């Protein structure tokens, strides 16, 4: 009887996967015809077929299947983003990235928290917890947008790299505030800084070592005996980088991002591959990344809780408006202006002010707070869903238009 039940569950899950793949493929085609980032269409379609509307797909946010897709999908998308980063570009802007991914998270959290305290009327600690949850940008959203819309190189790569590096900082701040909110401890700036450095250094080392090893195995003249299996090597290494960093209590997302950078800069490592081999791997990564973001954003759309959102709708919209139009611009200008080496123009900083979509990572943090029964968790989850919808539907759809207006769009 048990095997029969397991078989039926497996069949049902397989059917849902088929539905998501079929609808997602058509949605991707629709997005291309409409010339908008496909994550926008995936999110809307997910909301349409979710349990709140048509009910075609119903996978709980805390289910094993959803968590598996979320972890591996986000890791692979982040690896894809890292592979498109050029070390020569990062050398120009590393100071901005370092400041905005650390101090910038604190600035965003503080301003958003103040808005939450004013508009929602919640206790200060709950307001700060909401600000910390929303403070990090989302690589799973930003990387696909910049892969589809060609923006001036250093601007796009700065925003993508920031989104990879600030996840660790966002999580640290969130759980530090949570410890205070639940009476489990007091906030310690020194301990948090040490934890951040540990996560950053370990994640970078693990990703760098695995990235170099993978590049050697698929591109070295003597030791590249896995050249024909390069796609499989990337899958194994992405999983290994994430799990290795996670097991060492470091940032798994940072590890896979650095792994991608290593693999994408093989020439800088003295390794070369034939054009044909490079093309095969590139096509595989592009297809796999498309499937991953298809699953992630359709499932994210199906999990939008409209009833919960309605409870705090207008106050939540006000908080997110301050978050988008005040917190982000203040963060960008305070963190980018001191970097005299990068010589940011006003138009470049203006574009970075507008580009900070919220998505999978803040959504996952909000879900964890609900599961832990944190103070104000329902309010935080509600406003987080509002932030996800507003930033993706408004900012992602206008990215190309704004880049063109500011003269930052690289025409194909």
- DSSP per-residue string spanning 210-243: HHHHHHHHHH-TTT-TTGGGHHHHHHHHHHHHHH
Confidence of residue 94 (pLDDT cuts 50, 70, 90): confident
* Nearest residue to 323 via CA among 293, 377, 297, 362: 362
Residue 224 has pLDDT above 70, yes or no: no
Could you tell me how many residues make up the chain? 412
Number of C-alpha atoms within 13 angstroms, CB side, residue 51?
10
- Quick one: what percent of the chain has pLDDT higher than 90? 16
Burial (CB count within 10 angstroms: exposed 0-12, middle 13-18, buried 19+), residue 354: buried
pLDDT at 355: 86
**Among 3-7, 235-239, 345-349, where is mean pLDDT lowest?**
3-7
Band of residue 334 on the pLDDT scale cut at 50, 70, 90: very high
pLDDT at 328 over 90: yes
- 369 pLDDT more than 90: no
Residue 406 has pLDDT above 80, yes or no: yes
pLDDT value of residue 117: 93
- Phi, psi dihedral angles at 271 (to 5 degrees): -115, 140
pLDDT band at 3 (very low <50, low <70, confident <90, very high): low
State percent of the chain over pLDDT 70. 93
Q: Which of 102-106, 302-306, 368-372 has the lowest mean pLDDT?
A: 368-372
Could you tell me the pLDDT band of residue 127, with boundaries at 50, 70 and 90? very high
pLDDT at residue 391 tops 80:
yes
pLDDT at residue 188, as a whole number:
62
- Which pLDDT belongs to residue 327? 94
Which residues pair with residue 151 across a beta bridge?
409
What stretches of 55-188 show up as alpha helix (H) in DSSP? Answer: 64-83, 87-100, 103-120, 124-134, 139-148, 153-181
For residues 90 and 111, is the Cβ–Cβ distance under 8 A? no
The CA distance from 254 to 79, in Å, is: 9
Task: Point out which residues pair with 409 in neighbouring strands.
Answer: 151
Distance, CA of 31 to CA of 147 (rounded, Å): 14
Across 119-127, average pLDDT: 91
Closest CA to 50 of 40, 60, 41: 60
pLDDT: which is higher, 319 or 98: 319
Give Cα separations from 183 to 128, 257, 372, 380 (angstroms).
15, 35, 13, 18
Other beta carbons less than 10 A from residue 253's beta carbon: 32
Mapped onto helix, strand or coil, the DSSP state of residue 409 is strand
Residue 252's CB is within 10 A of a number of other CB atoms, namely 27
Mean pLDDT over residues 28-52, rounded?
Answer: 84
**Which domains are present in the chain?**
64-405 (1.20.1530.20)
Radius of gyration (C-alpha) of the chain in whole angstroms: 21
At residue 385 the predicted structure's pLDDT band, cuts being 50, 70 and 90, is: confident
User: Phi and psi (nearest 5°) for 151?
Assistant: -105, 160
Q: 84, exposed or middle or buried, with CB in 10 Å at 0-12, 13-18, 19+?
A: middle
In tens, the pLDDT along 264-304 reads 787 777 777 667 777 887 888 888 888 888 888 888 888 77
254: nearest Cα among 173, 200, 196, 174: 200
Residue 228 near residue 267 (C-beta atoms within 8 A): no
pLDDT at 240 over 80: yes
Is residue 8 over pLDDT 60? yes
For position 339, what pLDDT does the model report? 85
- State the average pLDDT for the chain: 83
Is 50 within 8 Å of 304 (Cβ atoms)?
yes
Residues with Cβ within 8 Å of 398's Cβ and at least 6 positions away in sequence, in order, are: 354
């Amino acid at each position: 009887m048990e095997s029969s039940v397991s078989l039926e569950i497996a069949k049902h899950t397989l059917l849902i996967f088929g539905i998501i793949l079929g609808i997602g493929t058509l949605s991707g085609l629709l997005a291309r015809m409409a010339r908008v980032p496909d994550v926008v269409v995936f999110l809307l379609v997910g909301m349409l077929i979710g349990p709140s509307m048509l009910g075609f797909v119903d996978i709980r946010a805390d289910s094993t299947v959803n968590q598996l897709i979320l972890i591996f999908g986000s890791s692979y998308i982040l690896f894809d983003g890292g592979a498109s980063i050029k070390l020569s570009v990062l050398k120009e802007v590393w100071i901005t990235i370092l400041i905005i991914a650390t101090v910038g998270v604190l600035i965003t959290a503080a301003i958003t928290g103040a808005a939450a305290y004013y508009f929602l009327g919640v206790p200060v600690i709950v307001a700060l917890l909401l600000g910390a949850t929303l403070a990090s940008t989302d690589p799973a959203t930003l990387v696909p947008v910049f892969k589809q819309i060609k923006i001036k190189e250093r601007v796009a790569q700065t925003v993508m790299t920031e989104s990879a590096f600030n996840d660790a900082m966002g999580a640290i701040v969130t759980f530090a505030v949570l410890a205070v909110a639940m009476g489990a401890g007091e906030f310690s700036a020194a301990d948090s800084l040490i934890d951040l450095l540990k996560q950053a250094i370990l994640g970078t080392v693990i990703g760098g070592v695995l990235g170099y090893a993978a590049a050697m195995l698929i591109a070295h003249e003597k030791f590249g005996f896995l050249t024909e299996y390069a796609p499989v090597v990337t899958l194994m290494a992405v999983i290994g980088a994430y799990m290795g960093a996670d097991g060492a209590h470091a940032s798994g997302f940072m590890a896979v991002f650095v792994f991608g950078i290593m693999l994408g800069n093989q020439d800088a490592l003295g390794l070369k591959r034939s054009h044909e081999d490079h093309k095969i791997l590139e096509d595989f990564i592009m297809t796999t990344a498309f499937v991953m973001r298809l699953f992630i954003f359709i499932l994210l759309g199906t999990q939008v809780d409209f009833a919960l959102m309605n409870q705090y709708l207008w106050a939540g919209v006000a908080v997110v408006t301050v978050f988008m139009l005040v917190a982000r611009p203040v963060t960008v200008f305070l963190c980018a202006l001191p970097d005299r080496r990068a010589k940011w123009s006003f138009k470049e900083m203006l574009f970075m002010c507008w580009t900070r979509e919220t998505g999978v990572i803040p959504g996952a943090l909000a879900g964890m707070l609900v599961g832990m029964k944190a103070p104000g968790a329902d309010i935080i989850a509600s406003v987080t869903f509002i932030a996800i919808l507003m930033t993706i539907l408004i900012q992602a759809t206008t990215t190309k238009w704004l880049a063109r207006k500011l003269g930052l769009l690289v025409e194909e």
